[in-house]
Structure 1
Amino acid sequence: MAHFQPDGDHAPIDPDQPPYGRMLSGIRGLKLEVTDVRAKFKYDDHKPVEHRTAVAGRLTARSQGLDAPAAHQQLRRLDRIGPWKS
């Protein structure tokens, strides 16, 4: 509870006392092994041109996985869309 309510304001946690005692048996834990990740890349066309160019540069420099194609797409969109107009 200290993580969620660091200032206190909760009853002592005792398995034999209310209000938390009866709830503790309902807690379940899982250990998962991640075998696959599917992610979405958000291009943030509303961000300033300088920011979008910097992101593409960092992706190119990092050069892992699909970084290069994502950087290429970011720069292509930047050339096509240009600065955000509100």
Structure 2
Amino acid sequence: MKFVEAVASAVSTGLTEHELPVITAAEKSGIPRTTLMRRLSSPENSPFNLLELSQLSGLLDTRVSDLIAQAEALASKEGEAK
């Protein structure tokens, strides 16, 4: 798994854990709904930027560095499975 995909997966997992639909997350974070959906569905073509991760981390009650660490662990685990 590429790192940008792992970041999207970490964000998606956080949204699910906090029971936040994409529409609600978009409204509360200030990220346009279409942008958030694109980042989650096609991260290799449209990866999250630092500002967006910062906006989402507040909603997910976490830090940007924690999202990055989760993504690194996920990408590393996927790399080992190959």
TM-score by length of 1: 0.26
- From the two aligned structures, give the one with the greater helix fraction: 2
Relative CO higher for 1 or 2, CA cutoff 8 Å, sep ≥ 6? 2
Instruction: Return the index of the structure with the highest Cα Rg.
Output: 1
TM-score by length of 2: 0.27
